[in-house]
Amino acid sequence: MIVRYWQPFQEMNAVKHQLDRLFDDFAGVETAPTTWTPAATLVESEEALILQVQLPGINIDDIDVQASREVVAVSGTRPSLELTEGETLRRNEFRYGAFRRVVSLPVAIDHNAVTADYEAGVLVLTLPKAEDVRNKVVKVNIAGAKPAAITEATDSTEDKQ
């Protein structure tokens, strides 16, 4: 008796490869630039949020960063590939054209103190937390009746006056 198990992922891989071969025939056809969204990572520490945005191959002059207290927007353009005479495009999986990434922040930031660094195709934004949201130790007053020890001390000082 032979038992075969259905392997859907293997079948999906086979279909993917067939589609890749089919579209390879059309690789020379240029497509219109489309808006794309770069990948991002957000890490939180006690003092700041660190936002990393992948922008490989983007010129630093083509990147625009705007920050408010609760949102950061990174946008720009990746110019399309230009072929020289005699070159033929056989495969292109890069995204070209305008890009935009808007990240909602979990806490308010001091948007006037944001710093940016761009190295190896990764934009790193340091977003310091606003003073009013940083973890601070504060004295909390409790509403309600005063404890007996405090009431007695107050009463004895009033008698002396």
Please indicate, yes or no, if residue 98 is contained in any of the structural domains: yes
Please indicate, yes or no, if residue 60 is contained in any of the structural domains: yes
CA distance 124 to 40: 10
Please indicate, yes or no, if residue 121 is contained in any of the structural domains: yes
Predicted model pTM: 0.61
Please indicate, yes or no, if residue 119 is contained in any of the structural domains: yes
CA distance 104 to 53: 14
Please indicate, yes or no, if residue 108 is contained in any of the structural domains: yes
Please indicate, yes or no, if residue 143 is contained in any of the structural domains: no
CA distance 71 to 107: 9
Q: For the beta carbon of residue 57, count every other beta carbon within 10 angstroms.
A: 10
Question: In total, how many domains does the chain have?
Answer: 1
Per-residue model confidence as pLDDT tens digits over 126-136: 999 998 765 55
Please indicate, yes or no, if residue 14 is contained in any of the structural domains: no
Identify the CATH number of the domain in which residue 55 sits. Answer: 2.60.40.790
Indicate if the pLDDT at residue 32 is higher than 50.
no
77 or 152, higher pLDDT: 77
In DSSP terms, 98 is beta-bridged to 77
Please indicate, yes or no, if residue 148 is contained in any of the structural domains: no
Domain that holds residue 108: 32-83+92-135
